Chains A and B, each alone.
Chain A
Amino acid sequence: MEIRPLANTGEALENSSAPEYTPEAKDFCLRNSETIAIDNNFAAQSYWKEVVLRYVSKKSAMIGLFFIVLITVMAIIGPGMNDYSYSAQNLLQKNFAPRIPFLEGLGLFNGSETISTTTGFKTINYYAEQGLSDIYYWFGSDNFGRDIWTRTWSGARVSLIIAVAAAVIDMLIGMSYGLISGYFGGKVDIFMQRILEIANGIPRLVIVTLLLLVLKPGMVTIVIALMLTEWMSMSRIARAEMLKLKEEEFVLASRTLGAGSFFIIFKEILPNIIGPIITQVMFSIPTAIFTEAFLSFVGLGIPVPQCSLGSLISEGFNSFTTHPYQIIPPIIVMALLMLSFNLTADGLREALDPKLKER
């Protein structure tokens, strides 16, 4: 609702001089509209603007968003920040510990590492041993002599793409399926739940491996495999929420007013359950990254020498007790990513949920 029309009516009143009076639309407007206190601010604020305001005011949510943006930016520019490529090997410079300019002066990350061997501890610095004074592997190098910095960020790139694709598909398919099944109930629900049961009853691993065997392994195949398996848990949440809400008065009211099923499901109920849905989406992101990581673990993940955070962790895992620094960067990036997705999810959920407005 805007105020400008009222101002126009005010002008119209002053100018009217006709003797015979016929009621006009303007007569039904408020008197003294110029002087009564209408909260311009509040009314001018759209729902979405409010959501943004509420979101921005939450510190943890902003931190989360900041890290997501940061990691995304690093995933884009990180691999280009030094001269190494994610696949180029240098077998003479393998398993180099992290070495960072400036910090090495402080004794941190100066390229030496302590290995716990069966015959005691020993400290080595390959940079010094080989006299490579101007070589820097910021995160160290792996057992092929590839730069872990570059690989971590290219891995983050792959994982983010997989995760986002999976989450979006997850949301679209799973949510609609669950909402429809829950809303209609009865035979439709029973039928749809049986299909879900069958799809769900077959271990995910069987479906995913089979798909990867039939299709050519790669990012698209992994996304398709995740698509086939990940939507189910989302549909369960959506259905449970629907069952909880569909007997509520506001649904009844809407139906009484003649709203169609489609309208009720997506316009009335959906906004009310957006909280758990978003939380679930944020959880489906780690699940997606993990399923991919698990596939890497059994050797069916992203094909080598490409990498994802998951495959980097599996690779680093083999050197976990020997060169622990190799597994740390991907784990930290993964943990940060998860943390920020969670914080963002919380912020979003609270910003979107009108019921939580006052808190």
Chain B
Amino acid sequence: MKKYILKRLVTTIFTLLVILLVLFILMHLMPGSPFNDEKLNSDQRAALYAKYGLDQPIVVQFFRYVVNMLHGDFGVSYNISKNTPISQLIQSRLPISMQIGGCAVALGAVVGLLLGLLAAFKHDTIWDTLATIISVIGVSVPSYVFALALSYQLGFKWGLFPMLYRADHAFDSAVMPSIALSMFTMASIARFTRSEMLEVLGSEYMLLAESKGLSGSSLIFKHALRNALIPIITVLAPLIVDLMTGSLVVEKIFAIPGVGSLLVNAIQSNDYNVVIALSFIYSAMYIFIMLIVDILYGIVDPRIRLAKEG
């Protein structure tokens, strides 16, 4: 197992480098430039290109970027927040996105799991249908509509939570965005838990366990849930990364200083360094979480571990 993890870590670094290169190439393919303001003439644009070293060949830019990155320097923003070091931009924003995303994941996963289990155990009853309807609403109403509705009712009408993000009330401010964000996770998890649990409950080994006299929580947690968890984790993992790296719409509506809106603005205004840095953080998080998932597979399901070691 240790050897396996070590091997994965080495390949991870290689993968990240490839991703960085791909991102660089993508940025170069991107039409437009960061300095496409109406008021700039071509001489000024050339001067700006030279100032930021964008006039050099992509290979040179790439190596310079990697070297700088190893020193913790991700470059500066070209137009979202002019000349601000990216690390400074992200440092203050990423924790906020991660906090809200983390809450949303926890909320979505737990509620989704419960809904899914309820639906599976009460298969083909009104509970099942109800759980289905709840989770379907979760996936079919876009989060921004949901967010605004929440804000209108809980924030504006009832005054329970602040409508806009406030750093001095970080906890209160996080409640509504987390709920709005968790809907999709909740729905996905509920659906998958249901379908996986039905599968597991219908399997022979559950029948065996049941006929052996096992019952209650031991049956559910030791046998049923454990086997259903693999695909659930698989579904959950990328959702975690998506949520932790911020959501444009929810950030926009609740005025949250997170990284999701930063990425979209950066893409639309060709702020290369911001796009690359944020995408890279996303990639690193993604790959890291996938690594953990793969390790978890091994823990949850010994057969996979054996297969890998063999």
Contact = CB atoms under 8 A, between A and B. Distances in A.
Interface of A: 60, 185, 190, 194, 197-198, 200-203, 205-207, 209-210, 213-214, 233, 236-237, 240-241, 243-244, 246-247, 275-276, 279, 283, 286, 290, 293-294, 297-298, 310, 313, 317, 320-321, 327, 331, 334-335, 337-339, 342-343, 346, 349-350, 353, 355-356, 359
Given A205-B263, A237-B231, A241-B231, A198 B191 contact: no
B301 A209 contact: no
B248 to A, nearest CB: 7
B283 to A, nearest CB: 3
Interface stretch (B19-27, B59-67, B88-96, B211-219): B19-27
A283 B144 contact: no
Given A320-B145, A355-B203, A356-B202, A335 B140 contact: yes
Interface in B260-307: 263-264, 267-268, 275, 278-279, 282-284, 286-287, 290, 297, 301, 303-304, 307
Contact of A279 (B18, B192, B290): B192
Contacts of A236: 234, 238
A297 B195 CA distance: 32
Given A201-B286, A240-B230, A356-B198, A339 B132 contact: yes
A197 B287 contact: yes
B249 A337 contact: no
Given A237-B235, A310-B142, A356-B198, 11 more contacts: A190-B11, A198-B22, A203-B283, A207-B26, A240-B230, A247-B307, A297-B248, A317-B144, A335-B137, A342-B136, A355-B203
A206 B140 contact: no
A350 B198 CA distance: 9
Given A233-B238, A321-B152, A201 B195 contact: no
A309 B140 CA distance: 11
A198 B15 contact: yes
B5 interface: no
Contacts of A194: 11, 14-15
Grouping DSSP codes into helix (H, G, I), strand (E, B) and loop, the B interface class, with mixed when no group exceeds half, is helix
Contact of A337 (B11, B140, B203): B140
B160 interface: no
Contacts of B238: 200, 233, 236
A298 B247 CA distance: 12
Contact of B141 (A197, A241, A335): A335
Interface in B64-116: none
Contacts of B286: 197, 200-201
A198 B278 CA distance: 15
A143 B234 CA distance: 43
A294 B267 CA distance: 14
A203 B308 CA distance: 29
Contacts of B137: 335
A209 B132 contact: no
Contacts of A246: 307
Interface string B227-251: 0001100110010000001001100
A213 B279 CA distance: 18
Interface in B112-149: 123-124, 129, 132-133, 135-137, 139-142, 144-145, 148-149
Nearest to A185: B307
Contact of B195 (A275, A294, A313): A275
Contacts of B129: 60
Given A275-B199, A276-B231, A206 B11 contact: no
A297 to B, nearest CB: 6
A327 B152 CA distance: 15
B231 A213 contact: no
B264 A205 contact: yes
B202 A317 contact: no
Nearest to A350: B198
Given A194-B15, A327-B145, A339 B133 contact: yes
Grouping DSSP codes into helix (H, G, I), strand (E, B) and loop, the A interface class, with mixed when no group exceeds half, is helix
A213 B304 contact: no
A276 B196 contact: yes
A295 to B, nearest CB: 11
A350 B201 CA distance: 13
Interface in B1-54: 11, 14-16, 18-19, 22-23, 26, 29-32
A320 B149 CA distance: 9
Nearest to A335: B140
Contacts of B141: 331, 334-335
A353 B198 CA distance: 11
B188 interface: yes
Nearest to A333: B140
15 contacts: A190-B11, A201-B283, A206-B23, A206-B267, A206-B279, A236-B238, A240-B230, A276-B195, A297-B248, A298-B264, A317-B144, A321-B152, A335-B136, A355-B199, A359-B202
Nearest to B151: A321
A152 B11 CA distance: 49
B29 A210 contact: yes
Interface string B171-185: 000000000000000
A202 B142 contact: no
Nearest to B26: A210
Contacts of A200: 238, 286
Ranked 9 nearest A-B pairs via Cβ: A201-B283, A338-B140, A335-B140, A339-B136, A240-B234, A286-B139, A279-B195, A201-B19, A203-B282
